[in-house]
Amino acid sequence: MTKTKKSITQLLVTCMVDAIRPQVGTAVKTILNKNGCEVEFPKQQTCCGQPAFNAGFLKQARAMARHTIDVFTNTSGPVVVPSGSCTDMIVHHYPELLKSDPVYSSKAKKLSDRTYEFTQFLVDKLGLTNVGAKYNGNTTYHPCCHGLRNLNLVQQPSTLLDNVEDLEQVVLPCAEECCGFGGLFSVRMSEISGAMLDKKLSHVEETGANVLIAGDVGCIIHMQGGLRRRGSNIQVKHIAEILNGCD
């Protein structure tokens, strides 16, 4: 474990973690604390606005982007987000959305520059490869699309998982195919989304794993909800839960 000075980090926990899987936020905080980071949680934070943005509602998305920027503007240190998708929203789409806003364009750029996805922060910023976790389970990993393609999260999660003690990993066939979540897509185009989900879950079942690991709670509840509907006992966990070593 790298010894670093106690440095302040901001936790942007995401609305999904906040409301549905708070244990992911707790795991992130614990891991960051263990690795020399003091964690602050600005309580004014809500939702980054991605669902509105993806549905094409730019006015609403801009309002939420400005709110999120305001919440973090007067804080210090890097902003850590346990979601590739929300990180992508802040890092890539905030500056684009607010580029003609005289007040917020520079603020958006500043927030973008200091925002990191959780595994990206651990590996690229803290220089960690092993967080000292132990997890006894037969697992497979699904790389969520926005993290994979827009943030190039490939090495970071795999390095961290490879160093988890006792963790058995089976390669997921067609791992890079989307699970069909896509936010409002899963409601509005539910049949297509359902067909994509079925393919994904059949591949997951093929692996024989009893735990599916992913990095985005949106995709996690989508796949867990689908597995439950199929009567499967496979559990879908956020990578932070695995790295926190909670069996």
Partner 1 sequence: MAATELSFYDRISDALANPDGQLAIAAGAKAKYDNRARAMSEFPSMEMTRDRARSIRAHTLSQLDKFLAEFADNVEALGGHIFWAKNAQECNQYINEIARAKDVQLVAKAKSMLTEEISLNQSLETSGIDVVETDLGEFIVQLSGDKPSHIIAPILHMTREDVGNVFQEKLNVPFSDDPATLNAIARAHMREIFLKADMGISGVNFGVSESGAICLVTNEGNGRLISTAPRIHVAVMGMERLVPTLADLSIMLQLLARSATGQKLSVYSNILCGPRRKNESDGPEELHIVILDNGRSEILGSALSEILYCIRCGACLNACPVFHSIGGHAYGSVYPGPVGSVLSPLLFGDPWNPLPHASSLCGACKEVCPVDIDLPGLLLKSRSQQITKGKSPLWMQLSQWIYAITSCNPILFGLALRSGQVVSRLLAYDGWFTTLPGPLQGWSTHRDFPALAQKSFRQLWDKPSQG
- Nearer of residues 102 and 191 to partner 1, judged by Cβ: 191
- Nearer of residues 168 and 177 to partner 1, judged by Cβ: 177
Binding mask 167-186 for partner 1 (x = CB under 8 A): ---------xxx-xxx--xx
Q: Determine, following the binding rule CB under 8 A, whether residue 101 of this chain makes contact with partner 1.
A: no
CB of 173 to partner 1, least distance (A): 12
Cβ atoms of 223 and 199 closer than 8 Å: no
28, exposed or middle or buried, with CB in 10 Å at 0-12, 13-18, 19+? buried
Phi, psi values for residue 61, rounded to 5°: -60, -40
CB of 167 to partner 1, least distance (A): 24
- Nearer of residues 26 and 158 to partner 1, judged by Cβ: 26
- How far apart CA 219 and CA 194 sit, in angstroms, is 13
CB of 8 to partner 1, least distance (A): 16
Could you tell me the two tokens for 170?
Answer: 């089976």
The alpha carbon of residue 123 and the mean position of all alpha carbons in its chain are separated, in whole angstroms, by 15
Contacts with partner 1 in 16-55 (CB under 8 A)? 17-23, 25-26, 41, 43-47, 49, 51-55
Number of residues that bind partner 1 (CB under 8 A): 65
- Nearer of residues 167 and 180 to partner 1, judged by Cβ: 180
Binding mask 58-77 for partner 1 (x = CB under 8 A): xxxx-xx-xx----------
Q: Determine, following the binding rule CB under 8 A, whether residue 215 of this chain makes contact with partner 1.
A: no
Which of 193, 207, 213, 245 touches partner 1 by CB under 8 A? 193
Q: Determine, following the binding rule CB under 8 A, whether residue 206 of this chain makes contact with partner 1.
A: no
Which stretch, 107-115, 124-132, 146-154, 161-169, contacts partner 1 (CB under 8 A)?
146-154
Question: Which residues would be at the binding site for partner 1 (CB under 8 A)?
Answer: 13, 15, 17-23, 25-26, 41, 43-47, 49, 51-61, 63-64, 66-67, 145-146, 149-150, 176-178, 180-182, 185-199, 221-222, 224-226, 228-229
